[in-house]
Chains A and B, each alone.
Chain A
Amino acid sequence: GENVEQHPSTLSVQEGDSAVIKCTYSDSASNYFPWYKQELGKGPQLIIDIRSNVGEKKDQRIAVTLNKTAKHFSLHITETQPEDSAVYFCAARRAGSYQLTFGKGTKLSVIP
């Protein structure tokens, strides 16, 4: 089955700096890659997603890049703010499958 690895497990940045979280996947048939943000005591919330026919997608301070050849995708957060502090999860889904396979998460801390 699909395997998703996520790095780093923890990340601390100064407010205003950029943060990058990287994920690799194993199944070349995967074609959908969402990113979720989870705040303490809450459920995961979708922040951005990308499909395999696109190499990059941006939404204000958040961007995701996808390299299908290398089977990795990354989340980029620019101009980080304290409210960006949370756990971030990447996920991948194989075409035609119901199942999302999640990475183990990255705890991002933005230091004021």
Chain B
Amino acid sequence: NAGVTQTPKFQVLKTGQSMTLQCAQDMNHNSMYWYRQDPGMGLRLIYYSASEGTTDKGEVPNGYNVSRLNKREFSLRLESAAPSQTSVYFCASSEAPHSNQPQHFGDGTRLSIL
């Protein structure tokens, strides 16, 4: 049982390049999330998808776009990467948005922008 799978695991980009981070879950969860983790900052929500077909901004959405491709997949796109977007990106999923069900995390994508 894979849980939440993120690809790629590592990536180096040049400023201005674009990139899509992929996330897939096999737990039949309705809700999916994208976070970024920076040293000393904890995890901050970028975007979330409460259910298939819906997406909403989180705490730090600027410079990112998302697509909920189907129930399993939720992608994060950087259209024009900036050094400030160097971070570790985590995807998570949960059974339902409002119920107090835990979020399950992938192992992250480590992204460096030069």
| Chain A contact residues, CB within 8 Å of chain B | 1, 6, 31-32, 34, 36, 41-46, 49, 51, 89, 93, 96-100, 102-105
Output the least CB separation between B108 and chain A (Å): 5
Output the least CB separation between B64 and chain A (Å): 16
Output the least CB separation between A80 and chain B (Å): 23
Say yes or no: A89 contacts B103, CB within 8 Å: no
Query: Does B61 have its Cβ within 8 Å of any Cβ on chain A?
Result: no
Output the least CB separation between B25 and chain A (Å): 12
Say yes or no: A43 contacts B48, CB within 8 Å: no
Q: Beyond A98-B31, A99-B48, A99-B58, is A44–B100 a contact (Cβ under 8 Å)?
A: no
Say yes or no: A32 contacts B100, CB within 8 Å: yes
Q: Which A residues touch B50, using CB under 8 A?
A: 98
Say yes or no: B107 contacts A43, CB within 8 Å: yes
Say yes or no: B43 contacts A89, CB within 8 Å: yes
Say yes or no: A102 contacts B43, CB within 8 Å: yes
Say yes or no: B40 contacts A104, CB within 8 Å: yes
Say yes or no: A98 contacts B90, CB within 8 Å: no
Cβ-defined partner of A49 (8 Å) among B4, B100, B104: B100
**Complexed CA–CA distance, A104 and B103 (Å):** 17
Flag B3-39 by CB within 8 Å of A: 1 or 0 each. 0100000000000000000000000000101000000
Sampled A-B contacts (18; CB under 8 Å): A6-B42, A34-B102, A34-B103, A41-B107, A43-B106, A43-B107, A44-B43, A46-B104, A49-B100, A49-B102, A93-B100, A97-B98, A98-B31, A98-B48, A98-B56, A98-B98, A99-B58, A105-B42
**Complexed CA–CA distance, A32 and B94 (Å):** 14
**Complexed CA–CA distance, A97 and B59 (Å):** 13
Q: Beyond A44-B90, A98-B97, A99-B59, is A104–B105 a contact (Cβ under 8 Å)?
A: no
Say yes or no: A104 contacts B107, CB within 8 Å: no
Among A6, A32, A42, A98, the most chain B Cβ lie within 10 Å of the Cβ of A98
